[in-house]
Amino acid sequence: MAKPANGTTTIASPPAAEFASGWTYAPAPESVKVQIKPRYTHFINGVWTRATGETFPTLNPATEQTLCEISQATGGDVDKAVAAAGAAQPKWAALAPGERAKYLFRLARRIQERARELSVLETMDSGKPIKESRDVDIPLVAAHFFYHAGWADKLAYAFPGRTPRPVGVCGQIIPWNFPLLMAAWKLAPALACGNCVVLKPAETTPLTALRLAEIIEECDFPPGVVNVITGDGRTGATLASHPGVHKVAFTGSTEVGKKIAAATAGSGKRLTLELGGKSPHIIFEDASLDQAIEGIIAGIYFNQGEVCCAGSRLFVQESILDDVTSRLRRRLSTLRVGDPLDKNTDVGAVNSRAQLDTIRNYLRLGADEGATLHECGTAPLPAKGFWCRPSFFTGVQPSHTIAREEIFGPVLSVLSFRTPDEAVARANNTPYGLAAGVWTDKGGKIFDIARKLKAGVVWCNTYNKFDPASPFGGYKESGFGREGGLHGLRAYVDF
């Protein structure tokens, strides 16, 4: 505080904290190295198949370098895997449930013990920041197996008045955004309920599922209980319509989910679908803004926005629209985009060139249709790899393509509303219904809105929280069936 000559006192505002210039981060690369074989084959009936036939490369999306070659499963491979699962299933189901549980407990423990290796591998194959694979994906994988292990001998308590029995052979097709976590979501309940599985990981991210097969082998699972086959959409389609498969579980786009539904209609196959979303995130003027901003950031930029339940439509009450927008811009400028293996990285690489093209197309469409793009951060992006700066659009109309279609990237649409009723009506105005978020400090209001939102998961004053005990899944065209918790078991038992 300076005292000027004329005797009056002025209070200078404190200097604004400014980190951009003097406070750069030193590189903090994850140092663990993982072994990757030059070529992987399929894991069928407890053995790795011979390396023959067509292959395709899997890339590190942050460097565009080929990590290794992956085998494209043929119809014959699918037949063998389904037959192996079919042969193993009666014995697996007949095993004392407590023993079945112990296989899963053992697997959960080995995953915990090999967590660092799995995290690094996941980040290399998918492009997600090591911070997330290390602190979110892999711990949840272990937790998921641990939670479901304990169900194996308690299923009789799960379905009042009914005696559950396994469905049989499960064909499970999973996406590339949470490769190992989705494998765990699929495998753990299926195995706990006495089913055997043929798992097909996504074409661009097969490595952790294959590593999981190695761990399953190491845990001495009976042959055929878990089979992992790799390939593209053709393999998935063959698996889903295979007559030896009794249950199809799919996570992916609504478009592919509908094709699977059409292909399995009338076949007697059980079906669960976890599909796309365009989840609304509503923030009221009486919310705790600091926390809400963190929730919005976590909601849309987590995993580069490649999240089916990403809070991609932000509805802000009109009175705080300017405040929220400027806070968002400020917070966004602090996000670090870059090397996914760097422990300080917040936003990693987009999973593939195809997905990057899709996102860029939406960015173009958003601007063409009249919305204003706010792209944050100016630091140069690496020359190689698939990169997209996190961004948001303002001036978005509900009719804009970016407000209606799933982008699956770090792109947020900001819209406004005046009354709670309007917020609910606009939030529900979508064919999707996977998740939703609400921020307000008024207790009655938050549960009133939560009740009215048509979504399978509603995060109140938080967002993007996951737990093996918490059922996850959608309303409407986001699919049906739940994964996780008591309700997730229903998909894997018949009465």
Q: Please give the residues from 392 up to 451 whose contact with other proteins meets the rule CB under 8 A.
A: 431, 446-447, 450
User: Is 338 within 8 Å of 381 (Cβ atoms)?
Assistant: yes
Least Å distance between CB 432 and other proteins?
10
- DSSP helix/strand/coil, 21: coil
For the chain, percent helix, then strand, then coil, each to nearest 5? 40, 20, 40
Structure tokens at 213: 């097969």
Q: Residue 304: which region, alpha, beta or left (left: phi > 0; alpha: psi -120 to 50)? A: left
Interaction of residue 262 with other proteins, rule CB under 8 A: yes
Interaction of residue 302 with other proteins, rule CB under 8 A: no
DSSP 301-349: HGGGG--TT---EEEEEGGGHHHHHHHHHHHHTTPPBS-TTBTT-SB--
CA angle at 468 for the pair 464 and 470, rounded to the nearest 5°: 65
Interaction of residue 261 with other proteins, rule CB under 8 A: yes
User: Is 383 within 8 Å of 64 (Cβ atoms)?
Assistant: no
Interaction of residue 482 with other proteins, rule CB under 8 A: yes
CA 30 – CA 37 distance, rounded (Å): 20
Reply yes or no on whether 308 is catalytic: yes
Least Å distance between CB 139 and other proteins?
9
Q: Which is nearer to other proteins, 123 or 272 (CB)?
A: 272
In whole angstroms, how far apart are CA 301 and each of 394, 439, 482? 16, 18, 24
User: Is 491 within 8 Å of 485 (Cβ atoms)?
Assistant: no
Q: Which is nearer to other proteins, 274 or 342 (CB)?
A: 274
Interaction of residue 164 with other proteins, rule CB under 8 A: no
Least Å distance between CB 466 and other proteins?
9
Interaction of residue 159 with other proteins, rule CB under 8 A: yes
CA 202 – CA 359 distance, rounded (Å): 19
Q: Which one among 456, 489, 491, 493 touches other proteins, defined by CB under 8 A? A: 456
Q: Please give the residues from 85 up to 104 whose contact with other proteins meets the rule CB under 8 A.
A: none
Q: Which one among 179, 477, 492, 493 touches other proteins, defined by CB under 8 A? A: 477
Residues touching other proteins, count (CB under 8 A): 48
Q: Please report where in the chains the tokens 């981060």 appear, as a residue.
A: 25
Q: Cite the beta strand spans of 194-327 per DSSP E.
A: 196-200, 226-228, 247-251, 270-274, 280-283, 313-317
State CA 267 to chain mean position distance: 29
Question: Of the residues 193, 196, 219, 308, which is catalytic?
Answer: 308
Q: Which is nearer to other proteins, 74 or 440 (CB)?
A: 440
Q: Which one among 93, 331, 470, 494 touches other proteins, defined by CB under 8 A? A: 470
Least Å distance between CB 151 and other proteins?
13
Strand-pair partners of 372? 394
CA 491 – CA 157 distance, rounded (Å): 16
Give the x-and-dash track for 218-257 against other proteins (CB under 8 A). Answer: ------------------------------------x--x
Q: Which is nearer to other proteins, 33 or 451 (CB)?
A: 451
Question: Of the residues 122, 132, 274, 477, which is catalytic?
Answer: 274
Interaction of residue 457 with other proteins, rule CB under 8 A: yes
Interaction of residue 143 with other proteins, rule CB under 8 A: yes
Torsion angles phi and psi, residue 331, rounded to 5: -65, -35
Q: Which one among 265, 378, 383, 399 touches other proteins, defined by CB under 8 A? A: 265
Torsion angles phi and psi, residue 281, rounded to 5: -130, 110
Interaction of residue 471 with other proteins, rule CB under 8 A: yes
Q: Which one among 169, 184, 249, 275 touches other proteins, defined by CB under 8 A? A: 275
CA 89 – CA 81 distance, rounded (Å): 12
Q: Which one among 284, 393, 480, 492 touches other proteins, defined by CB under 8 A? A: 480
Least Å distance between CB 344 and other proteins?
24
The one-letter amino acid at 276: G
Q: Please report where in the chains the tokens 């370098």 appear, as a residue.
A: 65
For residue 472, what is the DSSP state? Answer: B
State CA 306 to chain mean position distance: 7
User: Is 366 within 8 Å of 373 (Cβ atoms)?
Assistant: yes
Q: Which is nearer to other proteins, 27 or 150 (CB)?
A: 150
Q: Which is nearer to other proteins, 57 or 150 (CB)?
A: 150
Q: Residue 483: which region, alpha, beta or left (left: phi > 0; alpha: psi -120 to 50)? A: beta
Q: Choose the stretch contacting other proteins; rule: CB under 8 A; options: 109-117, 216-224, 316-324, 471-479.
A: 471-479
Least Å distance between CB 225 and other proteins?
27
Q: Which one among 72, 112, 428, 462 touches other proteins, defined by CB under 8 A? A: 462
Q: Please report where in the chains the tokens 């996977």 appear, as a residue.
A: 434
Interaction of residue 458 with other proteins, rule CB under 8 A: yes
Q: Choose the stretch contacting other proteins; rule: CB under 8 A; options: 38-46, 78-86, 331-339, 460-468.
A: 460-468
Interaction of residue 258 with other proteins, rule CB under 8 A: yes
Residues that are catalytic? 274, 308
The contact set with other proteins (CB under 8 A) reads: 143, 159-162, 254, 257-259, 261-262, 264-266, 271, 273, 275, 431, 446-447, 450, 455-462, 465, 467, 469-473, 475-480, 482, 485-487, 490, 495
